[in-house]
Amino acid sequence: MADRSAAIAGLGMTDLGKVYGRTAAQFAGDAVRLAVADAGLELGDVDGLLTSAGVSGGVGLALQRDLGLRDLRLLSEMQSYGSTAGQMVQYASLAIGAGMAETVACVFADAPLRQDTSTGAAYGARGAVGWRGLLGAAGIRDTNSMYALAAQRHMDTYGTTNDQLGHIAVGQRAWAELNPRAQMRTPMTLEDYHASRWIVEPFHLLDCCLVSNGGIAVVVTSAERAASLARPPVHVLGWGQAHPGHAQRRHEDFGLVSGAARSGPAALAMAGLTVSDVDVVELYDCYTFTVVITLEDYGFCPKGEGGRFVADGTLGPDGKLKVNTGGGQLSSSYMWGMTPLSEAVLQARGEAGRRQVPEHDVVLVSGNGGVLDHHSTLVLSPHGPAGRSSS
Amino acid sequence: MTVGPVRRDEATAAFFDGTARGELLLFRCPAGHFSPPYSQQCDTCASVDLTAVAASGGASVVSRSVAHRRGGHRDILVVAELDEGPWWWSKVIDVEPEQVVAGARLTVVVERADEESEAVPVFRLA
């Protein structure tokens, strides 16, 4: 049977962070042009396009015309919040495997930051009407509050502490110092973490992700075609999604278990691997807590042990487990699921510069959307599915 | 201000008629399961034969957090389990953060921002 597996052949990243004067649509166009050029392709080679918009909107079907893409065989706007990026790679891989498309660009872009407003306002409440308005009127104004309630439940149930969450922020900042693209590169200590102001307890400012403008795109194509292109192919070995559909009622495990518990094992099983095979872990880290629950759910440590696990010299460039090696959403930039995915591509290629992990045969990537409502996982590798020991 | 202003829409009209009477309305199906008031169907058995009933007002803290606002004000936020089973996300008023721990007993009350706004269910310590 012919190998119809897929690989990521191109990566495009605009300037990220406090970058003003461009719309989300312009960032999206820039990111796709960069990704296509990175692959050594031309826009005319693209026959599929999947788009993902952030809070500012404006990234959608019109991107086809912005990029002058003719006769596409696949085109859609996708939305599962933070799990979308991983899912786009999955749908692109499926389409390529089915022979429906050959070269699919997947893009996320957002421009929530304005020069004259605070970063908090960029993600703030939007109109107090109906059920959503009721939540805000009662003080649950933003995602910070909802994740804080999830994290506190984990802390009350398993004894997870702020000190342990702080180790995640500190470890990722140490990685960010090695990443020239990272927004936050000044060294951080555990004392700095504890001294940062409360946002919503148990979250300090340094528990929360950044807010960023910019765009990131990847080009997915057949492994066969990727082998002849400009960059080292990053093979898509496995994937999973999980959308638990939690009810709001007695006995629900909100804050204790996420969709990662199903998505992670499914992705690894598809790749024929286990967590002990994973060399590099790029996790969606909208909050420090999201790293804790995802490490537990993926099986890197037992349920409830995530806090103790990360506080035990596990994280950071000198740690036992290489997690969020670019600094993540906490210290590098917040491009939703494209933040962990883009760093995973760089690590799998061996192009991560001073922060390159020497062993990078298996890279695990997570995406997380809503309030732990949506999860996606990818298993990536510089080696194809036929034989991981040789490329 | 204890709660913020909120306006009704088509989906919330009956619910806010309830809060105007001081009630937090839930749905009950013929099998006796309770579901949140925004449900299309029973979240236990999928029945669409739902009747609006007022919650008893008793609840327990599932999780809690403290939101720090500009000017030093703090809001004590909770996910609370109503005694009927559904969870309700809101704030606890007239309380110190240390008093709001997992399992603490609460009572539903309603507050409104001003005469133009709908009444909003919040909690007090029982």
Q: What angle do CA A214, A220, A222 make, to 5 degrees?
A: 170
- B78 Cβ under 8 Å from any chain A Cβ: yes
Does pLDDT of A122 surpass 70?
no
Q: pLDDT tens digits for B99-119?
A: 999 999 999 999 999 999 999
Q: Which DSSP state fits B11?
A: G
At residue A124 the predicted structure's pLDDT band, cuts being 50, 70 and 90, is: low
Nearest by CB: A199 against B38, B68, B121: B68
Q: Calculate mean pLDDT across residues A196-214.
A: 98
Q: Calculate mean pLDDT across residues A351-355.
A: 98
What pLDDT sits at residue A2?
A: 58
Cα–Cα distance, A225 to A362 (Å, whole number): 21
Q: Calculate mean pLDDT across residues B49-69.
A: 98
What pLDDT sits at residue A118?
A: 72
**Quick check: B107 and B126 in contact, CB under 8 A?**
yes
Q: A142-209+236-383: CATH homologous superfamily?
A: Thiolase/Chalcone synthase (3.40.47.10)
Chain B residue nearest residue A198, CA to CA: B68
Cross-chain Cβ contact A201/B5 below 8 Å: no
Angle between helices A143-158 and A288-298 (to 10 degrees): 50
Cα–Cα distance, A94 to A116 (Å, whole number): 43
Q: pLDDT tens digits for A222-240?
A: 999 999 999 999 999 999 9
Q: Which CATH class is domain A6-113+211-222?
A: alpha beta
Chain B residue nearest residue A246, CA to CA: B43
What pLDDT sits at residue A302?
A: 98
**Quick check: A362 and A381 in contact, CB under 8 A?**
yes
- A163 Cβ under 8 Å from any chain B Cβ: no
Does pLDDT of A318 surpass 90?
yes
Cross-chain Cβ contact B102/A197 below 8 Å: no
Comparing A6-113+211-222 with A142-209+236-383, is the CATH topology the same? Answer: yes
At residue A120 the predicted structure's pLDDT band, cuts being 50, 70 and 90, is: low
A287 carries an active-site annotation: no
Instruction: Provide the chain B residues 7-26 that lie in CB contact (below 8 A) with chain A.
Output: 7-9, 11-12
The pairing of beta strand B58-68 with beta strand A198-201: antiparallel
Q: Calculate mean pLDDT across residues A291-313.
A: 97
Domain spans, chain A = 6-113+211-222, 142-209+236-383
Q: Which domains does chain B have, with CATH numbers?
A: 10-125 (2.40.50.840)
Complex ipTM tops 0.90: yes
Report helix, strand or coil for B126.
Answer: coil
Does pLDDT of B21 surpass 60?
yes
Q: pLDDT tens digits for A7-46?
A: 999 999 999 999 999 999 999 999 999 999 999 999 999 9
Cβ contacts (< 8 Å) between A252 and chain B: which residues?
A: 87
Cα–Cα distance, B110 to A147 (Å, whole number): 25
Which of A123, A147, A193, A284 is flagged as catalytic?
Answer: A284
